[in-house]
Chains A and B, each alone.
Chain A
Amino acid sequence: NINGTEEKKFKRFESYKRDNQFPTKIDSLQILVDPKASTVILPIMGRPVPFHIHTIKNASTTPEGDMTFLRINFLSPGQGVGRKDEQPFEDPQAHFVRSLTFRSKDIDRMDRISQQITELKKEAVRREQEKKQMED
Chain B
Amino acid sequence: MEAFENIHLDLSKAAGKCRFAETGLGWRPAGHQETWTLDGRDIRQAQWSRAARGYEVKIYTRAGAVIQLDGFQHEDFDRLSKVFKIWYSVNLEHREHALRGWNWGKAEFGKAELAFNVQSRPAFEIPYSEVSNTNLAGKNEVSVEFSTAQEQPDKANTAGNIDLNQKKRGKKTTVAADQLVEMRFYIPGTALSKKEKKVKEEEEM
Stretch at the interface among B23-31, B49-57, B79-87: B49-57
| Complex contact A44–B124 (CB within 8 A) | yes
Q: Which of A88-104 contact B (CB under 8 A)?
A: 89-104
A45 to B113, CA, bound (A): 11
Q: B105 on the interface (CB 8 Å rule)?
A: yes
Q: B101 on the interface (CB 8 Å rule)?
A: yes
Which B-chain residue is minimally distant from A71 (CB atoms)?
B182
Stretch at the interface among A1-9, A21-29, A114-122, A123-131: A21-29
Interface size class of B (residues with CB under 8 A): 35 or more
Given contacts A46-B11, A93-B188, A96-B104, whether A29 and B126 have CB atoms under 8 Å apart is: no
Neighbouring B residues of A26 by C-beta, 8 Å:
52
Q: Which of B164-186 contact A (CB under 8 A)?
A: 172-173, 176-186
| Complex contact B103–A45 (CB within 8 A) | no
Given contacts A45-B124, A95-B116, A98-B141, whether A14 and B100 have CB atoms under 8 Å apart is: yes
A58 to B135, CA, bound (A): 23
| Complex contact B126–A99 (CB within 8 A) | no
Given contacts A45-B130, A97-B185, A98-B185, whether A75 and B70 have CB atoms under 8 Å apart is: no
Determine chain A's interface SS by DSSP, over half rule. mixed
| Complex contact B101–A14 (CB within 8 A) | yes
A51 to B101, CA, bound (A): 4
Interface mask (B12-40 → A, CB under 8 Å = 1, otherwise 0): 00000000000000000000000000000
| Complex contact B178–A102 (CB within 8 A) | yes
| Complex contact B183–A100 (CB within 8 A) | yes
| Complex contact A47–B52 (CB within 8 A) | yes
| Complex contact A55–B102 (CB within 8 A) | yes
Which A-chain residue is minimally distant from B117 (CB atoms)?
A95
Q: B187 on the interface (CB 8 Å rule)?
A: yes
Question: Can you offer 11 A-B residue contacts whose CB atoms are under 8 A?
Answer: A21-B99, A27-B52, A45-B180, A50-B101, A94-B104, A98-B103, A102-B181, A103-B178, A104-B178, A105-B177, A110-B178
The 8 closest A-B CB pairs, nearest first, are: A15-B101, A52-B101, A96-B186, A94-B104, A16-B99, A55-B103, A76-B186, A44-B124
| Besides the known contacts A28-B177, A91-B104, A103-B178, 4 further A-B residue pairs in the complex with CB atoms under 8 A apart | A55-B104, A95-B116, A102-B178, A110-B178
